[in-house]
Amino acid sequence: MRVLVDTSAWADYFNAHPTAEREALRELIAGDDDLFTCGVVAAEVFQGLRKEKGREELADLFRQLGFLEPDGIDAYFRAATLYRDLRARGVTVRSTIDCLIAVLAEAHGCHLLARDRDLARILESGLISVRPWPPAPPSVPETEE
């Protein structure tokens, strides 16, 4: 699987917050799935680093991830349209960046690992064909006795 990891999941991971997203990222790093980042996530993660210690090792880790880039200006147009369509449905997201991250995940066939309420709203809207990571387990039909 291809998984784009949002800043929120990286923050939980680095700060050892006991969240499902931290655990999912830990498993992804140890596993065989393909992990991705993008420019805005890398910038957000690195601007949040308070200590110099370990920064170069982290940079090396990020250099090993797949790197997603917008395919020209149309990705930004798609992010703006997504934002407007969400607003038309009464859903206001706080950041255009979240719309861009979702658009990048969609364009590159990635799941999205995030602990972010705006990204959750975007994915739940049905306006974009991106699934959260980890995937929900298949529902088991109830049997009648």
The CATH number of the domain where 116 resides is what? Answer: 3.40.50.1010
Structural contact between residues 132 and 126, judged by C-beta atoms closer than 8 angstroms? no
Is residue 34 assigned to a domain?
yes
- Residue 41's nearest CA partner among 87, 102, 125 is 102
Is residue 132 assigned to a domain?
no
Residue 124 confidence (pLDDT): 96
Q: How far is the C-alpha of 98 from the C-alpha of 64, rounded, in Å? A: 23
**3-state class (DSSP) for residue 59:** helix
Q: How far is the C-alpha of 58 from the C-alpha of 52, rounded, in Å? A: 10
What burial class does residue 18 get, using C-beta atoms within 10 Å of its C-beta: 0-12 exposed, 13-18 middle, 19+ buried? exposed
pLDDT digits (tens, 9 = 90+) for 111-134: 999 999 999 999 999 999 999 998
Q: How far is the C-alpha of 1 from the C-alpha of 63, rounded, in Å? A: 19
pLDDT digits (tens, 9 = 90+) for 24-75: 999 999 999 999 999 999 999 999 888 888 889 999 999 999 999 999 999 9
Residue 51 confidence (pLDDT): 82
Range of the domain at 103: 2-124
Is residue 139 assigned to a domain?
no
Distances (CA, A) of 108 to 34, 43, 51, 68, 133: 12, 20, 33, 7, 15
**Bridge partners, residue 66, by sequence:** 36
Q: How far is the C-alpha of 9 from the C-alpha of 26, rounded, in Å? A: 10
Strand 111-113 to 2-5 pairing: parallel
Number of separate domains in the chain: 1
Is residue 141 assigned to a domain?
no
